[in-house]
Structure 1
Amino acid sequence: MSTTFSALGVPAELSEVLAARGIEQPFPIQEATLPSTLAGGDVLGRGQTGSGKTLAFSLPMVARLSQAPKRRKARFPRALIMAPTRELATQIAKTVDPLAHAASLRTTVIYGGVAQSRQEKAMAEGVDIVIACPGRLDDLIQQKIVDLSQLEISVLDEADHMADMGFLPVVRRIMDRMPTGIQHMLFSATLDNGVDKLVKRYLSNPTVHSVDAPKAAVNTMEHHVFVIPNDDKKELVRVLAQGTGRRIMFMRTKHHAKKMALALSKAGVPAVDLHGNLSQNARDRNLAAFSSGEAKVLVATDVAARGVHVDGVELVVHIDPPAEHKAYLHRSGRTARAGSDGTVVTICTPDQQGDVATLLKQAGLKVPFEKVGLDSKAVLDVVGEVAELVPYVAPVKQPQRQSPRKSSEAGKSGSGRSQRAGRGARSGRPVSDEARRSEGGRRQERSARPPRSAGSDRPARAGQGASSTERAGGAGRGSRQGGRSAGAATTGRGPRRATSPTTRSGR
């Protein structure tokens, strides 16, 4: 008989949230860890990506906070989840938010690459659960925007990836600011690269739950290595991209990922890119298009190997084979998630066969190398049903809007020239060459005149020979002989206020 979430001790209101999302039976890692985590004990969970780890830590976190409600305090969260990438933090938030809402808890997400003003505001208003990447979180702690001194529960997700990205020193600095004796939950596929030191330093007598060996994830997938000449590689990618289901294709560089996504779109396959050069808004937009099915293909660098948790990815293609076996495991883990089937294809040129063979051996896989053509049966079997190609429509660039001040100045300048050029035309009389020459001569004569000083009978006008110092200070602008003060007029209406150069030019 299958175990239910309620039988494991999950509160009824949270079980109802899961049921509404079609989740009624716990996955093995959830069934193994929930009795310990709901009781408040420290847990070290080792499980494959896509095995349900997010619910394994978010359920006990929300349940324990809701059972002991407290008044929110600005800057002081009650629980913290740390994740290595912005994409993963956002995915975790999508799982936690419905549970938190049902328990009347408030959450916020903190990561870099965006303005921190919204994050500051959320912390000032008070939150219960913070989901954060360590870099930005550390910055906000240093600025005293976040204070972890009243934390009750800490989760470190994908700790091995934290180590791979060099985050462990920052993670240790953050965890050193937490109170002693709180509940720690750490999840990691492996315990190498210093993760074991985190376990020894912060977890107190943890219950260890290891569900499946780290290499078992790839054994549930169908693996292929297609060997093809380099000249045909791009065309093979286009063929593999044509299936009806979602596909993620990995490349090594940001430039090539962007270029490949554009090439696929032009070939009629809706594709978006995901890499480090994109702004956060662009990342969110492209991921949303891929998640909704608007884009069938996501072309990504390794930034997406851990951060993209999208159900229904039926094919992962290594356009560029990864540099090491751990990257292969994490890239491939985007498919065959939560018990679903999936296929992984590595495209290999003849000169790459030795490196790919070593890579697969380190990953614990035995995969035959298949020399293929564009119409080979092995290729067509992977592609499956071909989607209808969509005509490519290039994005329309909106013309830049000119500021009102610039356009008015341009209009004045142009109208001045047209007035001079067409002065005679407006009156209906042609302008003779002699008139043009005489007009040009008068302009030259005016520009050659020296500026009148403060003691002359008329003030010098800006732009007619006055020096920059005089124009800036307004020297001599309103001064007249006879000792009148600067700016006085001769009209008998009293002194007229001097106009600054800035005001005059802005009229």
Structure 2
Amino acid sequence: MAARRPSKTPVVTPTSFADLGVPGRLVTALEQAGITTPFPIQAATLPDSLAGRDVLGRGRTGSGKTYAFALPVLARLAAATSPRLPGRPRSLILAPTRELATQIEATIAPLATALSLRTLTIFGGVSPRPQVAALRAGVDILIACPGRLADHVSTGHAILDAVEITVLDEADHMADLGFLPVVRRLLDKTPPRSQRLLFSATLDGGVDVLVRRYLSNPVTHSVDSAMSPVAAMTHHVLRVRHDDRLPVLVDLTAAPGRTVVFTRTKRGAKKLTSQLVASGVPAVELHGNLAQNARARNLAAFSAGDARTLVATDIAARGIHVDDVALVIHADPPAEHKAYLHRSGRTARAGASGTVVTLMTDDQVTDVRDLTRQAGINPTVTRLGPGDALLAELAPGERRFVTPRTTTTEPRGGRGAATTEPRGGRGATTTEPRGGRADSAARRPDRRTATGGSTAAAARGRAPEGRRAGAAEVPSAPRGAAAFSSGTRVGSRRRGQR
């Protein structure tokens, strides 16, 4: 049945989750997690989704969409009497990338445990055997990436005829990655009259086809313009000489707080991470050439504050949520405005404020001007060099540097992360996310280059002028995907909505 014409939903004044119809046990579990007030996208969609209607939700990145679909899934399964059957999940949440699937599961798992519901995450890049065993044991909520789930369906290990409610998260991103044919085949195997929820930032052609084919008379809620910039986000373009890019990046990333730096290529992310670490900035990388365990380990180190800078390709532009990211830097301006907005959305999430900086060389002026115009922003443009006072305003606080020690790069086929270990230390010992197995055909790691972390040079490299000296260092080395001889734990582990 055709979808209703999308319309902008008036901003709903946040009320309580109980007033929206969320069951008491879920409200209590949310309160125990420190979540008491719904975000607008949740307040708008929950009455309809909890009532069993198909819902099309549109909201900008960081608007709280995960709880908007997680709560109806949990409420429906908790109220139903259908048994948990081997190989037949009771609900299905499809996500485009491994990292997003893992974060969705991390959000849902505590609430599911409170309701005695079982969750499982499935994606590629890891052995399928533990996933097969978990499916055989029975699962209530299956969070999956399309490619690996399709493999399990084709072998008969997963059967989707018992799915009561299906969620498509970041549907437009799945379209961008070429997953829609696989998504359609999976949806065709779910009961046609089961409830379906679709969340997407845009309603481009491929997504609209899904809406018209699989959602029955959906209610459409669009709390924010599909690609609108966040009001609490400030945008700056720094026009720099090419040779000054690294010193400026070192100055910005050496400030307190978490920073995400984006590059266009995997090679660029790896090289920049090495340069930052050699300059004394604890940094880890995230890109498609890393093995899955290295990706999980590096992201965990960044989330924990063991490395305060994450250098990433556009693999981190969608679905990655880490609390208290104060600064996003486009070391390489993206090719198009949607990528700019999604990258920038790693900061100023869940009502917080944030700063976005784009580095622009003289030969990029026209491209960056067109990019920002298409993104609907009017950034402050400043020509500067290392040591400029504006850098301290954009990333305030005392600059702190650490001295990297011996770098150990594991052999091909090893754990996939190069770690800088303290004397006598074990390096990275983080564990995999629970149930964490993910898939993305477009993100499949190249095991020949599956290395993470960074290679540290003996010298710090060229440092920006105006560094404040005498920064206090924490004597013990941090643990994570990269470990250093001394460092500063940054950011708070504030609970936030995904």
Structure 1 counterpart of 2:62: 50
Structure 2 counterpart of 1:295: 307
1:397 Cα deviation from its structure 2 partner: 6.1
Q: Deviations over 1:390-431 (max 9, x none)?
A: 22123346899xxxxxxxxxxxxxxxxxxxxxxxxxxxxxxx
Please give the alpha-carbon distance, in whole angstroms, between the structure 2 residues aligned to 1:17 and 1:176: 34
Please give the alpha-carbon distance, in whole angstroms, between the structure 2 residues aligned to 1:261 and 1:251: 10
Please give the alpha-carbon distance, in whole angstroms, between the structure 2 residues aligned to 1:4 and 1:132: 30
User: SS of the counterpart of 1:154?
Assistant: strand
1:3 Cα deviation from its structure 2 partner: 1.3
Whether 1:23 and 2:35 are equivalent positions in the alignment is yes
Structure 1 counterpart of 2:162: 150
**Mapping of residues 29-178 of structure 1, within 5 Å:** 29-178=41-190
Whether 1:191 and 2:167 are equivalent positions in the alignment is no
2:25 aligned to which of 7, 13, 22: 13
Please give the alpha-carbon distance, in whole angstroms, between the structure 2 residues aligned to 1:111 and 1:171: 14
Whether 1:322 and 2:346 are equivalent positions in the alignment is no
Whether 1:223 and 2:235 are equivalent positions in the alignment is yes
User: SS of the counterpart of 1:315?
Assistant: strand
1:114 Cα deviation from its structure 2 partner: 0.6
Which AA in structure 2 matches 1:117?
R
User: SS of the counterpart of 1:63?
Assistant: helix
Q: Deviations over 1:331-381 (max 9, x none)?
A: 000000000000000000000000011111111112242111112222221
**Mapping of residues 75-474 of structure 1, within 5 Å:** 75-396=87-408
User: SS of the counterpart of 1:218?
Assistant: coil
1:51 Cα deviation from its structure 2 partner: 0.6
User: SS of the counterpart of 1:217?
Assistant: coil
**Contact 2:326 2:348 (8 Å CA) reproduced:** yes
Largest Rg, 1 or 2? 1
**Contact 1:218 1:332 (8 Å CA) reproduced:** no
**Contact 2:251 2:399 (8 Å CA) reproduced:** no
Q: Are residues 169 and 397 of structure 1, via their aligned partners in 2, closer, same or farther at CA, if it must alter by over 3 Å?
A: closer
Q: Deviations over 1:97-156 (max 9, x none)?
A: 011111111010000111101110100111011000011111111111110011110000
Structure 2 counterpart of 1:455: none
Which AA in structure 2 matches 1:216?
S
Please give the alpha-carbon distance, in whole angstroms, between the structure 2 residues aligned to 1:218 and 1:353: 24
Sequence identity (%): 56
Greater relative contact order, per chain length (Cα 8 Å cut-off, separation 6+): 2
Provide the TM-score with structure 2 as the length reference: 0.78
CA-based RMSD: 1.5
**Contact 1:372 1:379 (8 Å CA) reproduced:** no
Please give the alpha-carbon distance, in whole angstroms, between the structure 2 residues aligned to 1:363 and 1:42: 31
1:262 Cα deviation from its structure 2 partner: 1.8
User: SS of the counterpart of 1:172?
Assistant: helix
Please give the alpha-carbon distance, in whole angstroms, between the structure 1 residues aligned to 2:224 and 2:309: 29
Please give the alpha-carbon distance, in whole angstroms, between the structure 1 residues aligned to 2:176 and 2:193: 28
1:217 Cα deviation from its structure 2 partner: 3.4
**Contact 2:326 2:353 (8 Å CA) reproduced:** yes
Q: Deviations over 1:240-298 (max 9, x none)?
A: 11110000000011112112112211211110000001111001100110000011000
**Contact 2:235 2:378 (8 Å CA) reproduced:** no
Which AA in structure 2 matches 1:203?
L
1:176 Cα deviation from its structure 2 partner: 1.0
The structure whose residues are more often helix, as a share, is 1
Please give the alpha-carbon distance, in whole angstroms, between the structure 2 residues aligned to 1:118 and 1:394: 35
Please give the alpha-carbon distance, in whole angstroms, between the structure 2 residues aligned to 1:82 and 1:382: 37
Please give the alpha-carbon distance, in whole angstroms, between the structure 2 residues aligned to 1:2 and 1:151: 31
Report the more deviating stretch, 53-62 or 259-268.
Answer: 259-268
Structure 1 residue runs of 4 or more that deviate by more than 4 Å after TM superposition: 396-400
User: SS of the counterpart of 1:337?
Assistant: coil
Please give the alpha-carbon distance, in whole angstroms, between the structure 1 residues aligned to 2:323 and 2:298: 16
Please give the alpha-carbon distance, in whole angstroms, between the structure 1 residues aligned to 2:280 and 2:367: 33
1:4 aligned to which of 16, 25, 42: 16
Please give the alpha-carbon distance, in whole angstroms, between the structure 2 residues aligned to 1:396 and 1:89: 30
Question: Unmatched 5+ residue regions in structure 1?
Answer: 401-507
Which AA in structure 1 matches 2:122?
I
Structure 2 counterpart of 1:467: none
1:193 Cα deviation from its structure 2 partner: 3.6
1:2 Cα deviation from its structure 2 partner: 5.3
Which AA in structure 2 matches 1:272?
V
1:34 Cα deviation from its structure 2 partner: 0.7
Q: Are residues 244 and 179 of structure 1, via their aligned partners in 2, closer, same or farther at CA, if it must alter by over 3 Å?
A: same
**Contact 2:229 2:376 (8 Å CA) reproduced:** no
